Amino acid sequence: MPTTFTLNTGTQIPWLGFGTGTALYSKDASQLVRQAIDAGVNHLDGAQMYNNEETLGTGIKQSGKPRAELFITTKLNGKVLQPGQTIKDTLQVSLQKLGLEYVDLFLIHDPTPATKQSNETLIDWWKQMEGVYADGLAKAIGVSNFKVSDLEIILPGAKVIPAANQIELHPYVWQEAEPIVRLCHEKGIVVESYGGLSPIVRVPGGPLDPTLETIRQRLAKDHGQPVSAGQVLTKWLSAKKAVVVTTTSKVERIKEFQDLPKIPDLTLEEVKQIEESGAELHKRSYMGHVFQ
C-alpha cells in the first residue's frame, strides 16, 4: 500500500492524517496534535468549523517539527461567510490562528451553504479558492463532502481542478459513495476518507462484523501477528486508494495505523465480500444534510 499520494499539484500527501474534528470539536487539540506528531504522523487535518485552529497551531509549534516536514489542511466554513467577506479573508484569519504562512491544502468543507443560494455561488467560491492558490496561501486547494453533482457545477469552468475531495467513506456508505469516488479517480482528484472506522465504532453488531472477523483471522495468520478489525477496514480504504483521516487519543491506535503497510493487502475477493456485507446496511454518520 502507498505511504503517500500525489496531488495534481505534484505535492505528496501522507496517506495517514490526524484529524482535529469529531471528539476534538471546540476543544483544545494541542496535546493530542503534539502526541500524533511525536508518534510520527506528519499530516494534520483541521477546519474553521472545528473551532480549535489556535490549539492545532499550538500543538504544531510545541512539537518543534520543521514546517517543511508537515502537511497541514484546514477547511472553509462557508456557513459563516459574511456579505463582503472573501474566502481569502477567512483563510488569512485561519493562518493567523495556526501561526502559519500557508497551508498545504485548503478545502471547501461543505458545498450546501453555496448551492442553497445558487450554482453560481459555488462557482464563485471555487474562483475565490483558485485566487487563494494563486496567492500561495494554500499550496493546493480542494473540496470536502462534494457529490458528483457538486463537482459537475465547478469542473466545467475550473482553471484549477480540485486536488482532493474529503468524504465519509466506509462499507456502509460505499454504494452511495462509489460514483463520486469513481469520478474523482477519473479526474485525478485524490479521495480522502473520514469516519472509516464507523462500522465498528458506531454500528457494532452490524452485518459487516462476521466478514471483518473472517478476514481479520486470515490476515493475522499470514502476518504472524495480531490484526484488528480496524486494520481490516483501513486496508479496505487503502484498496480504494483513499487517504485516511482519523482521530484518536491513543498512541497505540496510531501505531496500529502505522503498521498497516506491513500487513498483507486484502484480496480482490475480500474487498468484494466487505462491500457485499456493507451493502446490507446504509449508515451515514456525518453531513446527512449534504447527501439527502
Active-site residues, by number, are: 50
Please name the amino acid found at residue 71: F
Q: d(Cα 139, Cα 73) in Å, to the nearest integer?
A: 10
Please name the amino acid found at residue 78: G
Taking the alpha carbons at both ends of the chain, their separation in whole angstroms is: 33
Contact 137, 106 (CB under 8 A): yes
Residue with cell 497541514: 72
Q: d(Cα 28, Cα 52) in Å, to the nearest integer?
A: 6
Residues 6+ apart with CB under 8 A from 244: 15, 16, 17, 192, 193, 196, 234, 237, 238, 257
Reported residue count of the chain is 292
CA-CA-CA-CA torsion sign (109, 115, 119, 125): negative
Contact 287, 29 (CB under 8 A): no
Which SS3 state, helix, strand or coil, does residue 5 take? Answer: strand
DSSP state of 189: P
289 assigned to a ligand binding site: no
Which SS3 state, helix, strand or coil, does residue 75 take? Answer: strand
Q: d(Cα 219, Cα 272) in Å, to the nearest integer?
A: 16
Sequence ranges of the binding site: 109
Residue set of the binding site for substrate: 109
